[in-house]
Amino acid sequence: MDISINTFNTSGDRALLDPRTSIYAIIVISVVMIGGRLSGIEYILRVISCMIPVVFLFAKKNYKLGMIYFLLALLAMIIEGSAIQTSSGFLNLLLVIISGTISRFVPQFMMAYCFMSYTKVSELIVSLEKMHLPDVVIISLAVMFRFFPTIAEENRCVVDAMNMRKTKTKKFSLIERLEYQIVPIMMQSVRIADELSQAAMTKGLGINIHRTHICEVGFRYRDYLMIILLTAILLLFFIY
């Protein structure tokens, strides 16, 4: 039946951070975690950066994921801080691979996950408007976010339909499967896009109109704190 697919926050709560701050945080964490070395000040910056998502996971009351991530990150940091420096040979290689996959890729992914779980699409749109992106880009982005769950829904129906057509003697090859799955989804998507544009026009959406918005988006103290922290990390990272 209808499984809900939430790509973005749908509750009435205001986002924990302004979307612009969140995007900045994702960028800074990526830079530090992917590019940082394992010694000196860069190591300390890495420890701080990889713990930022923990704060937001806990703030969103996502304790289970928060704990799992915290322990994983802690493990990676401990390995990088001590074991890697002292071990050698195969063991060293193994430890580098384990801690590296966690520390270099997971934190920014977690931050992006946090961002999506506490931000509403409308908040993102408003903040993109504040960043003076052109309307054409913003409207396309808005439609894109709305389309992801739609395509997932459509896909489920098509898979059902395909299962019904399976017979004992005939098996679909991979290419056939792909064709039979993609064609109806594309046809449906075209239809949805057509109906959606009609709806958009009758709802008064257009390029170069002045829109207002009911969601509150703007910097608060926590945003400034976060920006100062992130900028400090970035500066230290590049200076040293």
Partner 1 sequence: MIDINNVTYTYNVTDAMGKRVERIALKNFSLNVKEGQVVVLTGGSGCGKSTVLRLINGLIPHYFAGELHGDVKVNNINVSTNPIYDTAKIVGTVFQNPKNQFFNVDSTSELAFNAENFGRNPDMIINDIDRVSSWMNLNPLIDRSMFELSGGEKQKIACASIAVADTPIIVLDEPTSNLDARGIEKLRKVIALWKKQKKTIIIAEHRLYFLKGLADRVLILKDGEIKKKMNGTVFDALSIAETTKLGLRAVNIEKISDKVRAITAKRTLGKRYISIENLEYVYPDGEHGISRKKLDIPTGAIVCIVGDNGKGKSTLAKCLCGLNKKAKGRVIYDTKQLPLRNMLEHCFMVMQDVNYQLFTESVNDEIQLSVDSKIEEECVNKSNEAMKMLDIEDLPKLHPMALSGGQKQRVALACAVASSKEILILDEPTSGLDYYHMIEVARVLKMLTDNNRTVIVITHDIELVNECADYVIEM
Residue whose CB is less far from partner 1, 94 or 159: 159
**Nearest approach, Cβ of residue 57 and partner 1 (Å):** 21
Residue whose CB is less far from partner 1, 52 or 121: 121
* 87 neighbors 111 (Cβ within 8 angstroms): no
**Nearest approach, Cβ of residue 8 and partner 1 (Å):** 5
Residue whose CB is less far from partner 1, 121 or 227: 121
Residue type, 7: T
Residue 224: C-alpha distances to residues 23, 123, 190 (Å): 14, 18, 43
- Distance between CA atoms of 227 and 186, rounded to whole angstroms? 42
Q: What count of other Cβ atoms lies within 10 Å of the Cβ of residue 149?
A: 15
**Nearest approach, Cβ of residue 211 and partner 1 (Å):** 5
Residue whose CB is less far from partner 1, 141 or 234: 141
**Nearest approach, Cβ of residue 132 and partner 1 (Å):** 18
- Distance between CA atoms of 181 and 157, rounded to whole angstroms? 10
Ordered alpha helix ranges (H), 87-220: 89-118, 121-130, 135-165, 174-202
**Nearest approach, Cβ of residue 63 and partner 1 (Å):** 20
Residue whose CB is less far from partner 1, 60 or 104: 60
For residue 79, the 8-state DSSP code is I
- Distance between CA atoms of 133 and 147, rounded to whole angstroms? 21
**Nearest approach, Cβ of residue 121 and partner 1 (Å):** 5
- For the chain, the first-to-last Cα distance in angstroms comes to 55
Nearest to 10 by CA among 138, 120, 158, 155: 120
Residue whose CB is less far from partner 1, 80 or 154: 154
Residues that bind partner 1 (CB under 8 A): 1-12, 120-122, 142-143, 145-146, 149-150, 153-154, 157-158, 160-170, 179-180, 183-184, 187-188, 191-192, 195-206, 209-215
Q: Tokens at residue 213, please?
A: 């918005």
